[in-house]
Structure 1
Amino acid sequence: MELFGLCVVDQPETRSEAPEPVEAEELNAWKRGFTPQAEIWNGRLAMIGLSAGIAVVLLVRVFSGG
């Protein structure tokens, strides 16, 4: 199959069962390494840092008169 000049390969579904949901304690566990829990915490901390940075920029602009 050709799609916009790219070759698209149709692959059959390899997993037949749906992933099992995990408990909240397992999802929020502080695990190191390349784990799903580490990725969740990485995203949370990144959003906190981004929000803090935007808040600092806004506060500086408001109180500096610029």
Structure 2
Amino acid sequence: MPKTREEFLMMTQPKPTITPKLEEPKFGFNEYAERLNGRAAMIGFILMVVIEYVTNQGVLSWLGLK
């Protein structure tokens, strides 16, 4: 029988399992592709804001919807 609360908690908590080391896929949703996609989206957004500021027209005007 455990004498302290800490000893009791150590006995009742499950032991962590070892996680397998999975190989990163060469295509699809991998870390490199997601990071590259995020950077491209940030650059595109900043360019869109700059062009809107310079031309004084919004995205809808560019598309001919306004």
Structure having the higher strand fraction is 1
Q: Which has the higher contact order (CA 8 A, sep 6+)?
A: 1
Whose radius of gyration is greater, 1 or 2? 2
TM-score, with length taken from structure 1: 0.46
